[in-house]
Chain A
Amino acid sequence: MELNQYLEMFIEESKEHLQACSDNLLELEKNPTDLAIVNEIFRSAHTLKGMSATMGYEDLADLTHKMENVLDAIRNEKIRVNAEILDVVFESVDHLEEMVMDIAGGGDGKKDVSQTVAKLKRIESGEPIQQAANASETAAAESAASTAAPESALQLEYDDFEKTVLLQSTEQGFNAFEIAVTLSDSCLLKAARVYMVFDILEKNGDVVKSSPTVDRLEEEQFDQDFKVAIISQTDAEELRSKILKVSEVENVSITQISNDLFMQSAVVEPELPIVETATEEAISVIQPEVKKEDASQKTASAKHAASKTIRVSIERLDVLMNLFEELVIDRGRLQSIATEVNHSELNETVERMSRTMGDLQTIVLTMRMIPIETVFNRFPKMVRTLSRDLNKKINLEVIGAETELDRTVIDEIGDPLVHLIRNSVDHGIESPEVRRANGKPEEGNVTLRAYHSGNYVFIEIEDDGAGINRERVLKKAIAKGIVTKESALSLSDKQINELILASGFSTAEVISDISGRGVGLDVVKTTIESLGGNISIESTEGAGSTFSIQLPLTLSIISVMLVEIEQETYAIPLSSIIETSIIKNSDILNAHNQKVIDFRGKVVPLIFLDEIFNVPRTEAQNDEYHSVVIVRKGDKLAGLVVDTFIGQQEIVLKSLGNYLTNIFAISGATILGNGKVALIVDCNALMK
């Protein structure tokens, strides 16, 4: 059956249903007796089952069917909801999400979920799920420990996704191996041998990663050996003998991948989120509350019924935007011609047209905006898992999820937010004992807030945890050479707090799987700055911290200062400009072969843009006066010398395209009101 045309729709709708399931499950956790919620989840699961079966994804349909049976029994009051059951259902939803992601990535959605299915079956028939699962857990742990594999360091580099896959598989009782295969020197058809080895591997498990990559292996771009990471239920010896059966394979060495090998300085071993053992705790232990405004809550369930939205491809929106911008330019010309001709009817019509276009403009610009809810909605679940892993009690509050952001910003802001929230949970909120000892309520509060203000969107992550320890931060910063002892004395509290955003910085004594490596916060800072925003931190020791992110409302419109050099117009982003100034020739001083000026007591180097940009000069410039734009990068200043200032303007950022990449000191282009292209100066590049 030709189902590819429906694939995209299937993926979109599956994701929606799975998200609804997750949200409703969290609600159910708080209100275990509310059968209406169970009904909602049942409905979502049922629809999902139908869709998967139609599309031919059997594993997906099967798991959903089993889940549906459990939910059905719950809503018919044959089973009572408890934490154990909820955890299994959560687990099933996780598996379903993974399968959908697999399908979205071009896979076939197959996954061995027999363990989860078995648990669901047991719930359905009313048996306890604990002992059996525990037994399989210990069996897996034993086999992992007993495999006579040398505990050598892993040779392949794994990214986070691959690590998660490998970790999860070992938890489920599979074996994860790193296999190093060496082909004999005389081997001629290396690609064929590789193919045969992979064939065997795939019959015995799932290949997670290979080094070199599969494409290079097929092109025989490797010497004699290659490494593969595989998840399998077969044991090492059997795999080894099977691979050795392929002729011209010289040597096979297998290393077992176990969880500890992923730790760097393994001090804190993360608690494997073993579903079964965690259920020992009563339901009252950890309850993250997701408070959405009442209105949005009610509309959430009504949403699927009366969803008056339509999916539009982003490309179409971009084409629409471009054509619209052309219209804007022509409108300008029409307006100036109309004033010249001065025909009253023409003037009237042009005026009306301008008004309509103004309205169109607002609508077109806001079409690319999406509510930030799409990013926020994965956090409640994440916080729940994290707080259970760390044995902390955390209440997550989400305010302002309906705030809208440009689509490109939403795509980029997810990861930084994940990192900041993990930070708050890991380093900010203290464990319940410490909190009790300090007279704080055992449950920590993390608040995620988003709102509009002026031309910006603000996102704040606030926690009532331990706050930032000023002394420790300063000590670490001085030790790492980020600041000197002297300058440290003059830093304000805010500046000290922001030291933690520096690269390589971390005061965590213990590096955990979750955070502490000192790599994350500076990436957060760079990402936010690349979106045209900034991040600031406020903190009170003992009381808590607030991370504030400020982002521009639309990514593509920025304020610039237009300047002229000879006949060419350039744009300098206003965010880099401190001041403009006109200096006399006599103000220019020479220092180490560099022209500088004295600007309010600071020595500022001059950069002559006509030289940097090789602007063809018709006659030598012998002006007494020079126009200078003082720009700033961090705490460095520079003066850009231009011919004249044109003025300040809001412009639409345009890319230079795929052909002209990496032009020195040019970050993009824009189209001016007169239809001509102006280049945007990259001040940061000029000040390296």
Chain B
Amino acid sequence: MTTVEQDYLKVIVFQLADKEYAIPVSNVQGIEKLMHITRVPKTPNFVKGVINLRGVVTPLIDLRERFGIPASTNEDTTRIIIVTLEEMDVGFIVDSANDVLDIPVNAIEAQPEVVGSNEEDFISGVAKLENRLLILLHLDKVLNPVD
């Protein structure tokens, strides 16, 4: 029995190095340009510090460092994606973010075994769209709170 309608998942797509990642829109508060970051001592390396987001002090995570990708210089396209999960607001520093897509739910497959990359734990699945491969993230694993 085939149903004509498909379920779609609306996602924000961003780039890190040469890969594309996707986060469900329901978890995204906004996308900002890079602004002054205040360093916070005694936090893990991937926590770059905090920013002033319209009066609210918001922490920033550098996803490149979180995933173990070598750092790059900050380009014009670098953005901060403000992600919200269970009343925590955190910003992700990404190379660029400019797509909003509807992924058909049946295009999402479980994560393939990728050996030797730190990202493994953070991936919850992949979605194939035409010639693009979008990596879906496990937000709570990425955001594993700093102790």
Chain A residues packing against B (C-beta within 8 Å): 321-323, 325-326, 568, 612-615, 654-666, 669, 671, 675-679
Question: 5 closest Cβ contacts across the A-B interface?
Answer: A322-B55, A677-B38, A613-B41, A658-B88, A669-B57
Beyond A325-B55, A656-B59, A660-B59, whether A568 also contacts B39 by CB under 8 A is yes
Residues of B within 8 A of A326 (CB): 54-55
* With A657-B89, A659-B145: A614-B41 Cβ-Cβ less than 8 Å: yes
> Among A656, A664, A666, A675, which residue has its beta carbon within 8 angstroms of that of B52?
A675
Task: Write out the residue numbers on chain A whose beta carbons fall within 8 Å of the beta carbon of B88.
Answer: 657-659
Interfacial chain B residues near A655, Cβ < 8 Å: 57
14 A-B contact pairs sorted by A residue (CB < 8 Å)? A326-B55, A568-B38, A654-B55, A654-B56, A655-B57, A657-B59, A657-B88, A659-B89, A660-B40, A661-B146, A663-B41, A669-B50, A677-B36, A679-B40
B61 to chain A, nearest CB (A): 9
In the complex, chain B residues whose CB is within 8 Å of the CB of A678: 38
Within 8 A of A (CB), among B92-147: 143, 145-147
Contact indicator B38/A679 (Cβ below 8 Å) = yes
Give Cα A326 to B36, complex, Å. 15
Given contacts A661-B145, A663-B42, A676-B38, 7 further A-B contacts (CB under 8 A): A322-B55, A326-B55, A614-B42, A660-B40, A663-B41, A675-B52, A677-B36
0 or 1 for each of B47-76: is its CB under 8 Å from A? (1 = yes): 101111011111100000000000000000
Q: Say how far A677's CB is from chain B's closest CB, in angstroms.
A: 4
B residues with CB within 8 A of A: 36, 38-43, 47, 49-52, 54-59, 87-90, 143, 145-147
* Nearest neighbor of B61 in chain A, beta-carbon distance: A659
Closest to A664 in B: B42
**Assuming the A-B contacts A612-B41, A614-B41, A614-B42, are A659 and B55 also in contact, with contact meaning beta carbons closer than 8 angstroms in the complex?**
no
Q: Which residues of B contact A656 (CB under 8 A)?
A: 40, 50, 57, 59
B146:A659 contact, CB within 8 angstroms:
yes
What is the bound-complex CA distance between A655 and B56, given in angstroms? 8
Residue pair B47, A660 in contact (C-beta under 8 Å): yes
A659 to B146, CA, bound (A): 7
Whether B146 contacts A666 by the Cβ 8 Å rule is no
Cβ contact of B146, chosen from A323, A568, A612, A660, cutoff 8 A: A660
Q: How far is the CA of A172 from the CA of B43 in the complex (A)?
A: 56
What are the residues of chain B within 8 A of A666 when measuring CB–CB? 40-41
Max count, chain A CB within 10 A of own CB: residue among B54, B55, B58, B87? B55
- A364 CB to nearest chain B CB (Å): 12
**Cross-chain contact A663 with B38 (CB below 8 angstroms):** no
Residues of chain A within 8 A of B147, CB atoms compared: 661-662
Which residues of the other chain, B, contact A660 by a CB distance below 8 angstroms?
Answer: 40, 43, 47, 50, 59, 146
Q: Given the complex, which residues of B lie within 8 Å of A568, measured CB to CB?
A: 38-39
| Cα–Cα, bound, A323→B55 (Å) | 7
User: Chain B residues near A663 (CB, 8 Å)?
Assistant: 40-43
Q: How far is the CB of A217 from chain B (nearest CB, A)?
A: 25
Given A659-B59, A660-B50, A677-B50 in contact, is the A669-B41 Cβ separation under 8 Å? no
Residue of A nearest to B90 (CB): A659
> Bound complex: CA of A642 vs CA of B108, how far in Å?
54
Residues of chain A within 8 A of B50, CB atoms compared: 656-657, 660, 669, 677
Complex CA gap A325/B54 in Å reads 9
Q: With the chains together, A657 CA to B90 CA distance in Å?
A: 9
B56 closest partner in A (C-beta):
A322
Give chain B residues whose Cβ lies under 8 Å from the Cβ of A664: 41-42
> B42's closest neighbor in chain A, by CB?
A664
**Shortest CB–CB separation between residue A357 and chain B, in angstroms?**
15
Give Cα distance in the complex from A678 to B143, angstroms: 23
The distance in angstroms between the C-alpha atoms of A55 and B143, with both chains bound, is: 43
A664 to B47 CA separation, bound complex (whole angstroms): 15
Select from chain A the residue with minimum beta-carbon distance to B91: A659
What is the distance, in angstroms, from A688's C-beta to the closest C-beta of chain B?
A: 15
Q: Do B146 and A677 have beta carbons less than 8 Å apart?
A: no
Query: In angstroms, how far is the closest chain B Cβ from the Cβ of A324?
Result: 8
- Min distance, Cβ A669 to any Cβ of chain B, angstroms: 5
Residues of B within 8 A of A671 (CB): 52, 55, 57
Which residue on B lies nearest to A669, using beta carbons?
B57
Instruction: Pick the most buried of B57, B87, B89, B90: most chain A CB atoms within 10 A of its CB.
Output: B57
Decide: B57 and A657 in contact? CB cutoff 8 A.
yes
What's the Cα separation between A587 and B42 when bound, in Å? 30
> Which residues does chain B contribute within 8 Å of A323, judged by CB atoms?
54-55
Which residue of the partner chain B has the closest CB to A670? B57
Closest to A616 in B: B39
Shortest Cβ distance from residue B85 to the other chain A in the assembled complex, whole angstroms? 9
Which single residue of chain B is at the shortest CB-CB distance from A567?
A: B39
Q: Which residues of A contact B36 (CB under 8 A)?
A: 675-677
